[in-house]
Structure 1
Amino acid sequence: MSDTPTLTCVIVDDNEINRLTLEHLVDLTPELTLVASLPGGVEALHFFRQGGQCDLLLLDVEMPNLSGLELVKLLPAPAPAVVLVTTHRSFAVAAFELQAVDYLVKPVEFSRFSQAIARVLAARPAPAASAPVPAPAKAKADAKTDLFVKVGTRTIRVDFNDVLYIEALSTYSVLVTPTQKHIVYLTLKSLAERLPFDHFLRVHRSYIVNMQRIEAVEDYMLKLGPYEVPVGKSYQEEFLKNLRSL
């Protein structure tokens, strides 16, 4: 017998062809069991309010009467994991704000669909274990946040908690803090390989950002203190994934 977990799922889409396509993809996925395929947000809301349940909701965004985004806000607890299905990539930020596990762009390909299901499975709480062994406590001194970097003719200590972002400048890099800019004699690629901090992420061919210093996200422009940094198209999916995990 397989140990692979099975997820019950509900499809909601006002387009019958799109529903049939998703039903086919579900049928190809052994980890999924379809419990309902519904033609709109109103029908889906009725399903859940009448006690219907599922582990995963495959949800169209643009529907008449009640959109997918509106439906998510009305779902009774415990709400299922949500994967949004849309014709527009512009809904990616909305997906993040609603804590959707993933979003799929139509027409949905099976490989991308499988990737989304893998993310849903990975995000599920682990089964309760008996008497978990606590990890040994680490001293705060282990959480190193500073590095020595060469700036001009000097080597200085930089606390990377203060760094908002790092920008490529030809064969150099610029460390940007709220009050200073340091030109470092390393390419952005070389500096990225040396950074020991998980919360620094490459979001553009010319930028690495401190994810912990992001104040706002609008149309893939990141607000970091007095500055704005764009997220490149090829980096957007990885950026949203990391943003959800903060």
Structure 2
Amino acid sequence: MSTPFAFPLACVIADDNEMNRLTLEHYIGMTDGLTLAGSFPDGITCLNYFRAGHLADLLLLDITMPELTGLELVRILPEPQPEVVLVTTHRDYALDAFELQVADYLVKPLDYARFSRTVDRIRARRGPQTPAAPSLPAGGSEPTFGPEGNTLFLKINNRLTRVNFDEVLYIEAMSVYSVLVTAKHKHIVYSTLKVFEERLPFSHFARVHRSYIVNSRQVEAVEDNQLVLPGGYRIPVAKAYQESFFRRLRGL
């Protein structure tokens, strides 16, 4: 069992790949002693965050970003600099990482076990922290379903968060996780799509593909067996689901 920490490490992410950011955000949320301070889609926004006087303990930094690469960002970060962990698909940056004296170098696709070992090494180097009283229990892998109108409480980033399912456009499978997509946010929930399919209490959510559950009330149009949703999202309807879903759609 992991031990809570009195002084959690404040983490910042900079990566132009949205799914990689979501994965790192989820890893931070499921790790005791870490808290997410900021998540940015490019190096310049991240640099401005630190130049504004904000601090962090750990920076998870993609290397190949447009306009300002991760390596360039490390060289111009203001003091005091956080511990830097480079995250990249390319192994040939290892020498650059060594010369910049970064804390570690993670190669995509990201792996939680490797991420966790990196965090443990950084903690060990920073010295022991005083245990604090435990907060919310970690819970299991399933979401906490407790409908109140059209909302449910789900565990997102290690906290119970109220989600308004009227705003959810679709739910996408991602390995053992699911991504809830709204017009403004994407939330990673540590639960399979099958669990959502079996336990969602809302009749207007329907499975349309092995990787997607869709809010049928958000469908704007159907083109070539694809559902057009707000924001330009297009979700395919697999052949096995077409008859039942389109019948449901016509009956709304």
Higher RCO structure (Cα 8 Å, ≥6 apart): 2
User: Highest Rg: 1 or 2?
Assistant: 1
Q: With the length of structure 1 as denominator, give the TM-score of the two structures.
A: 0.49
